[in-house]
């Protein structure tokens, strides 16, 4: 996936000021930055949950000009991406298995039998083989998020977009979700992940992007960006996150 000059405003509030970013196949790109920097809006624009004002999104042979996008282009983009949300976004009246099946039936047009088999496979993949027929209210937050990850994986997207996947979880549940995401990264899944879990980002990401005030200020391998950031704003952010910058070194 390649993003060029992506911009987004809400009324007079400018959120994205021209984002350029490449997500190579099989790589994990992590986006970090302060609250309000545009991280979640950026991911939502890539799946057209928010319509960008301008810019270009390229996914393999698909090239979308934001200000000229047609419905068929957006549908094609969504078939190539899948979002894992902060708040799970599960259907409360459907079981874990039915939640995973929904996109397979509605988007990929699989039969109920095919969708059911795929849902069982991917729920097993995230460690929920014994929770397939449970409803969201019967699952912990970590389990609900793992259903969300299974739902994304089942669509077999070219790029998985993860928007702060642990932010709504209790501390003791964060680890189980990060283990699942880490497993997928090791299997070569292409992922763009917004996260505030810096130790996890340092471990999983091939590249880290620092976003501030709607712009990419700095990008590089985790070790380089965390240990020797170039931009003063990056240094300030990391110093606050780690309390003391010496901790990172």
In a domain, 153, yes or no: no
pLDDT 10s digits, 161-185: 999 999 889 888 999 999 999 999 9
Decide: 123 and 104 in contact? Cβ < 8 Å: no
Q: Say what the pLDDT of residue 245 is.
A: 43
Say if residue 233's pLDDT is above 50: yes
Work out the pLDDT band at 246, boundaries 50, 70, 90: very low
In a domain, 64, yes or no: yes
The fraction of the chain above a pLDDT of 70, given in percent, is 97
Return the bridge partners of 44, or none.
none
Q: How many domains does the chain have?
A: 1
Question: Which two structure tokens, joined as six digits, stand for 233?
Answer: 């704003």
Decide: 28 and 161 in contact? Cβ < 8 Å: no
Question: Which two structure tokens, joined as six digits, stand for 161?
Answer: 């977009």
In a domain, 121, yes or no: no
Q: How far apart are CA 199 and CA 180, in angstroms?
A: 16
Q: How far apart are CA 52 and CA 46, in angstroms?
A: 8
Contacts of 63 (CB under 8 A, 6+ apart): 56, 57
Decide: 191 and 185 in contact? Cβ < 8 Å: yes
Q: Say what the pLDDT of residue 247 is.
A: 44
The closest of 13, 177, 23, 222 to 86, measured between CA atoms, is: 177
pLDDT 10s digits, 107-152: 888 999 999 999 999 999 999 999 999 999 999 999 999 999 999 9
Phi and psi torsions of 52, nearest 5°: -65, 155
pLDDT 10s digits, 58-116: 999 999 999 899 999 999 999 999 999 988 999 999 999 999 999 999 888 899 999 99
pLDDT 10s digits, 6-26: 999 999 999 999 999 999 999
In a domain, 99, yes or no: no
Q: Which helix (H) or strand (E) holds 78?
A: helix 71-80
In a domain, 240, yes or no: yes
Q: Say what the pLDDT of residue 180 is.
A: 94
| Sign, Cα dihedral of 166, 106, 91, 117 | negative
In a domain, 220, yes or no: yes
What pTM did the predictor assign? 0.92
CA-derived radius of gyration, the chain = 18
Q: Say what the pLDDT of residue 244 is.
A: 47
Torsion of CA 101, 102, 104, 106, to 10 degrees: 150
Work out the pLDDT band at 155, boundaries 50, 70, 90: very high
Domain that includes residue 192, residue range = 2-89+159-247
CATH of the domain at 22: 3.40.50.300
In a domain, 50, yes or no: yes
Q: Say what the pLDDT of residue 67 is.
A: 87
Phi and psi torsions of 10, nearest 5°: -115, 100
pLDDT 10s digits, 44-64: 999 999 999 999 999 999 999
Q: How far apart are CA 227 and CA 235, in angstroms?
A: 9
Decide: 90 and 137 in contact? Cβ < 8 Å: no
Cβ burial, residue 79 (10 Å; 0-12/13-18/19+): middle
pLDDT 10s digits, 198-227: 989 999 999 999 999 999 999 999 999 999
């Amino acid at each position: 996936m390649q993003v060029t000059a992506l911009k987004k405003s809400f009324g007079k509030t400018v959120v994205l000021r021209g984002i350029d970013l490449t997500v190579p196949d099989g790589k994990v790109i992590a986006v970090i930055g302060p609250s309000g920097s545009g991280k979640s809006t950026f991911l939502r624009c890539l799946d057209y949950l928010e319509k960008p004002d301008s810019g270009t999104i390229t996914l393999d042979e698909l090239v979308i000009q934001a200000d000229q996008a047609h419905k068929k282009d957006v549908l094609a983009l969504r078939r190539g991406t899948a979002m894992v949300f902060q708040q799970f976004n599960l259907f409360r009246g459907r079981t874990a298995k039915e939640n995973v099946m929904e996109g397979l039936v509605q988007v990929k047009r699989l039969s109920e039998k095919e969708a059911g088999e795929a849902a069982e496979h991917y729920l097993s993949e995230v460690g929920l083989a014994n929770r397939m027929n449970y409803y969201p209210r019967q699952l912990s937050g970590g389990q609900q998020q793992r259903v969300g990850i299974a739902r994304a994986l089942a669509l077999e997207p070219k790029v998985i977009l993860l928007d702060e996947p642990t932010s709504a979880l209790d501390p003791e549940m964060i680890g189980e979700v990060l283990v699942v995401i880490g497993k997928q990264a090791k299997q070569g899944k292409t992922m763009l992940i917004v996260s505030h879990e810096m130790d996890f980002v340092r471990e999983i990401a091939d590249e880290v992007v620092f976003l501030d005030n709607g712009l990419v200020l700095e990008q590089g391998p985790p070790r380089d960006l965390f240990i020797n950031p170039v931009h003063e704003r990056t240094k300030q952010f990391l110093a606050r996150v780690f309390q003391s910058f010496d901790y990172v070194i």
